[in-house]
Protein backbone atom coordinates (compact mmCIF):
# COMPACT_ATOMS: atom_id res chain seq x y z
CA UNK A 1 0.00 0.00 0.00
CA UNK A 2 2.14 2.91 -1.28
CA UNK A 3 -0.09 5.57 0.29
CA UNK A 4 0.39 4.25 3.84
CA UNK A 5 1.34 7.18 6.09
CA UNK A 6 3.26 5.19 8.72
CA UNK A 7 0.66 5.88 11.41
CA UNK A 8 0.59 2.34 12.82
CA UNK A 9 4.37 2.02 12.90
CA UNK A 10 4.64 5.33 14.77
CA UNK A 11 2.20 4.30 17.49
CA UNK A 12 3.05 0.58 17.70
CA UNK A 13 5.16 0.65 20.90
CA UNK A 14 2.61 2.86 22.67
CA UNK A 15 -0.25 0.65 21.45
CA UNK A 16 1.56 -2.44 22.75
CA UNK A 17 2.05 -0.87 26.18
CA UNK A 18 -1.66 -0.16 26.65
CA UNK A 19 -3.72 -2.78 28.48
CA UNK A 20 -6.70 -4.30 26.63
CA UNK A 21 -9.50 -1.85 27.45
CA UNK A 22 -12.34 -4.40 27.82
CA UNK A 23 -10.92 -7.79 28.80
CA UNK A 24 -14.31 -9.57 29.26
CA UNK A 25 -15.37 -8.57 25.71
CA UNK A 26 -12.04 -9.71 24.33
CA UNK A 27 -12.27 -13.07 26.15
CA UNK A 28 -15.84 -13.50 24.90
CA UNK A 29 -14.70 -12.78 21.34
CA UNK A 30 -11.86 -15.31 21.60
CA UNK A 31 -14.25 -17.94 22.99
CA UNK A 32 -16.64 -17.24 20.13
CA UNK A 33 -13.82 -17.63 17.61
CA UNK A 34 -12.79 -20.95 19.22
CA UNK A 35 -16.23 -22.41 18.36
CA UNK A 36 -15.21 -22.18 14.69
CA UNK A 37 -11.72 -23.68 15.10
CA UNK A 38 -10.46 -27.22 15.50
CA UNK A 39 -6.96 -28.45 16.25
CA UNK A 40 -6.72 -29.15 12.50
CA UNK A 41 -7.56 -25.56 11.43
CA UNK A 42 -5.20 -23.48 9.31
CA UNK A 43 -5.87 -19.88 10.30
CA UNK A 44 -4.92 -16.50 8.87
CA UNK A 45 -5.23 -13.33 10.90
CA UNK A 46 -5.18 -9.96 9.14
CA UNK A 47 -4.46 -6.72 10.98
CA UNK A 48 -3.26 -8.82 13.90
CA UNK A 49 -1.39 -5.95 15.57
CA UNK A 50 1.01 -7.08 18.28
CA UNK A 51 -0.22 -10.65 18.14
CA UNK A 52 -2.07 -10.89 21.47
CA UNK A 53 -5.12 -12.69 20.05
CA UNK A 54 -3.13 -15.03 17.80
CA UNK A 55 -0.94 -16.09 20.73
CA UNK A 56 -4.03 -16.71 22.90
CA UNK A 57 -5.57 -18.88 20.15
CA UNK A 58 -2.37 -20.82 19.41
CA UNK A 59 -3.57 -23.98 21.16
CA UNK A 60 -6.92 -23.94 19.38
CA UNK A 61 -5.68 -24.40 15.80
CA UNK A 62 -3.08 -26.35 13.87
CA UNK A 63 -1.28 -23.18 12.82
CA UNK A 64 -1.91 -19.45 12.71
CA UNK A 65 -0.33 -16.95 10.35
CA UNK A 66 -0.90 -13.50 11.84
CA UNK A 67 -0.23 -10.60 9.48
CA UNK A 68 -0.22 -6.85 9.82
CA UNK A 69 0.46 -3.82 7.65
CA UNK A 70 2.92 -2.42 10.21
CA UNK A 71 6.47 -3.80 10.42
CA UNK A 72 6.75 -2.46 13.96
CA UNK A 73 3.56 -4.22 15.11
CA UNK A 74 4.90 -7.45 13.60
CA UNK A 75 8.29 -6.96 15.30
CA UNK A 76 6.58 -6.59 18.69
CA UNK A 77 4.40 -9.64 18.01
CA UNK A 78 7.51 -11.64 17.14
CA UNK A 79 9.20 -10.55 20.40
CA UNK A 80 6.16 -11.81 22.33
CA UNK A 81 6.13 -15.08 20.36
CA UNK A 82 9.80 -15.69 21.05
CA UNK A 83 9.36 -14.91 24.77
CA UNK A 84 6.48 -17.41 24.94
CA UNK A 85 8.44 -19.95 22.85
CA UNK A 86 5.29 -20.42 20.76
CA UNK A 87 5.93 -22.35 17.53
CA UNK A 88 2.34 -22.65 16.28
CA UNK A 89 2.01 -18.96 15.37
CA UNK A 90 3.97 -17.07 12.69
CA UNK A 91 3.96 -13.32 12.16
CA UNK A 92 4.37 -11.66 8.79
CA UNK A 93 4.11 -8.11 7.47
CA UNK A 94 1.38 -7.81 4.85
CA UNK A 95 -1.71 -5.80 4.03
CA UNK A 96 -5.15 -7.38 4.16
CA UNK A 97 -5.61 -9.32 0.93
CA UNK A 98 -1.89 -9.42 0.09
CA UNK A 99 -1.32 -12.40 -2.28
CA UNK A 100 1.77 -13.41 -0.25
CA UNK A 101 -0.64 -14.40 2.55
CA UNK A 102 -2.28 -17.06 0.41
CA UNK A 103 -2.03 -20.70 1.44
CA UNK A 104 -2.12 -23.63 -0.97
CA UNK A 105 -5.44 -25.38 -0.29
CA UNK A 106 -6.86 -22.31 1.47
CA UNK A 107 -7.55 -21.41 5.10
CA UNK A 108 -10.22 -22.82 7.41
CA UNK A 109 -10.70 -19.42 9.02
CA UNK A 110 -9.60 -15.82 8.54
CA UNK A 111 -9.76 -13.52 11.58
CA UNK A 112 -9.91 -9.70 11.54
CA UNK A 113 -10.27 -7.97 14.91
CA UNK A 114 -10.69 -4.19 15.06
CA UNK A 115 -9.54 -3.85 11.45
CA UNK A 116 -12.32 -3.59 8.86
CA UNK A 117 -13.07 0.09 9.55
CA UNK A 118 -9.40 0.85 8.83
CA UNK A 119 -9.10 -0.68 5.37
CA UNK A 120 -8.59 1.62 2.36
CA UNK A 121 -10.87 -0.45 0.12
CA UNK A 122 -12.92 -2.85 2.28
CA UNK A 123 -14.81 -4.68 -0.52
CA UNK A 124 -11.54 -5.39 -2.35
CA UNK A 125 -10.08 -6.87 0.86
CA UNK A 126 -13.24 -8.92 1.51
CA UNK A 127 -13.07 -10.43 -1.97
CA UNK A 128 -9.39 -11.26 -1.46
CA UNK A 129 -10.17 -12.90 1.89
CA UNK A 130 -12.94 -14.90 0.26
CA UNK A 131 -10.49 -16.28 -2.29
CA UNK A 132 -8.07 -17.31 0.48
CA UNK A 133 -10.70 -19.37 2.32
CA UNK A 134 -11.60 -22.96 1.57
CA UNK A 135 -15.19 -23.35 0.33
CA UNK A 136 -17.43 -23.41 3.42
CA UNK A 137 -14.76 -21.76 5.59
CA UNK A 138 -15.36 -18.68 7.73
CA UNK A 139 -14.35 -15.04 8.01
CA UNK A 140 -14.56 -14.00 11.68
CA UNK A 141 -14.51 -10.26 12.27
CA UNK A 142 -15.04 -7.83 15.11
CA UNK A 143 -15.43 -4.25 13.97
CA UNK A 144 -16.14 -0.80 15.28
CA UNK A 145 -19.23 0.40 13.43
CA UNK A 146 -18.47 4.11 13.63
CA UNK A 147 -21.64 5.21 11.88
CA UNK A 148 -23.53 3.94 14.94
CA UNK A 149 -21.46 6.04 17.33
CA UNK A 150 -22.53 9.42 18.60
CA UNK A 151 -22.02 12.58 16.55
CA UNK A 152 -19.14 13.79 18.75
CA UNK A 153 -17.05 10.69 18.08
CA UNK A 154 -17.81 10.90 14.36
CA UNK A 155 -16.84 14.57 14.22
CA UNK A 156 -13.66 14.01 16.23
CA UNK A 157 -12.13 11.55 13.78
CA UNK A 158 -11.45 14.00 10.89
CA UNK A 159 -9.97 16.44 13.42
CA UNK A 160 -7.76 13.73 14.89
CA UNK A 161 -6.58 12.88 11.37
CA UNK A 162 -5.57 16.50 10.85
CA UNK A 163 -3.25 16.38 13.87
CA UNK A 164 -1.89 12.90 13.13
CA UNK A 165 -3.82 11.18 15.94
CA UNK A 166 -5.92 8.96 13.69
CA UNK A 167 -4.92 6.83 10.69
CA UNK A 168 -5.45 7.99 7.12
CA UNK A 169 -8.16 5.45 6.34
CA UNK A 170 -11.20 5.33 8.60
CA UNK A 171 -14.45 3.92 7.23
CA UNK A 172 -17.88 4.72 8.59
CA UNK A 173 -20.49 1.98 8.35
CA UNK A 174 -23.30 0.51 10.42
CA UNK A 175 -23.42 -3.15 11.32
CA UNK A 176 -26.17 -3.68 8.73
CA UNK A 177 -24.07 -1.95 6.04
CA UNK A 178 -21.05 -4.08 6.92
CA UNK A 179 -23.12 -7.25 6.63
CA UNK A 180 -24.38 -6.09 3.22
CA UNK A 181 -20.83 -5.33 2.02
CA UNK A 182 -19.81 -8.85 3.03
CA UNK A 183 -22.79 -10.35 1.19
CA UNK A 184 -21.95 -8.24 -1.88
CA UNK A 185 -18.41 -9.62 -1.68
CA UNK A 186 -19.65 -13.20 -1.93
CA UNK A 187 -20.18 -14.23 1.71
CA UNK A 188 -23.18 -15.64 3.56
CA UNK A 189 -23.74 -14.15 7.02
CA UNK A 190 -23.79 -16.98 9.55
CA UNK A 191 -24.25 -14.88 12.68
CA UNK A 192 -23.88 -11.35 13.95
CA UNK A 193 -23.80 -10.07 17.52
CA UNK A 194 -22.30 -7.32 19.67
CA UNK A 195 -19.70 -7.33 22.44
CA UNK A 196 -20.39 -5.62 24.76
CA UNK A 197 -24.11 -6.27 24.33
CA UNK A 198 -25.87 -3.25 22.89
CA UNK A 199 -22.60 -1.55 21.89
CA UNK A 200 -21.43 -0.44 18.46
CA UNK A 201 -18.82 -3.17 17.98
CA UNK A 202 -20.15 -6.02 15.85
CA UNK A 203 -18.85 -9.58 15.79
CA UNK A 204 -19.78 -11.11 12.45
CA UNK A 205 -19.24 -14.61 11.14
CA UNK A 206 -19.39 -14.80 7.34
CA UNK A 207 -18.98 -17.99 5.34
CA UNK A 208 -17.59 -18.55 1.87
CA UNK A 209 -20.35 -20.62 0.25
CA UNK A 210 -19.51 -24.19 -0.80
d(CA 196, CA 156): 22
Q: Does 65 bind ligand SAM (CB under 6 A)?
A: no
> In the set 36, 42, 48, 101, which binds ligand SAM (CB under 6 A)?
48
Nearer to ligand SAM (CB atom), residue 44 or residue 46: 46
Piece of the chain touching ligand SAM by CB under 6 A; list 30-38, 40-48, 99-107, 190-198: 40-48
Q: Does 95 bind ligand SAM (CB under 6 A)?
A: yes
> In the set 33, 37, 43, 118, which binds ligand SAM (CB under 6 A)?
118
Smallest separation, CB 183 to ligand SAM (Å): 21
Q: Does 122 bind ligand SAM (CB under 6 A)?
A: no
The closest residue (CB) to ligand SAM is 49
Q: Does 116 bind ligand SAM (CB under 6 A)?
A: no
Piece of the chain touching ligand SAM by CB under 6 A; list 65-73, 77-85, 102-110, 187-195: 65-73
> In the set 73, 76, 77, 132, which binds ligand SAM (CB under 6 A)?
73
> In the set 57, 64, 69, 137, which binds ligand SAM (CB under 6 A)?
69
Helix/strand/coil (H/E/C) assignment for every residue in the chain: CCCCCCHHHHHHHHHHHCCCCCHHHHHHHHHHHHCCCCCCCEEEEECCCCCHHHHHHHHHCCEEEEEECCHHHHHHHHHHHHHHCCCCEEEEECCCCCHHHCCCCCEEEEEEECCHHHCCCHHHHHHHHHHHEEEEEEEEEEEECHHHCCHHHHHHHHHHHHCCCCCCCCCCCCHHHHHHHHHHCCCEEEEEEECCCCCCEEEEEEECCC
d(CA 106, CA 97): 13
Residues interacting with ligand SAM, by CB under 6 A? Answer: 8, 46-49, 68-70, 73, 95-96, 113-115, 118-119
Amino acid sequence: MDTYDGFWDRIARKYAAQPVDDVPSWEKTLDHIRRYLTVESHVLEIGGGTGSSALKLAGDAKDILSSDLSYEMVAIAEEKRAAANEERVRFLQGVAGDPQLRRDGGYDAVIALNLLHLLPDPPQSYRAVREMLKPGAVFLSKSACLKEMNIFVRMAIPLMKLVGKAPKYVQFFTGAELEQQLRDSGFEIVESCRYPTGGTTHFIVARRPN
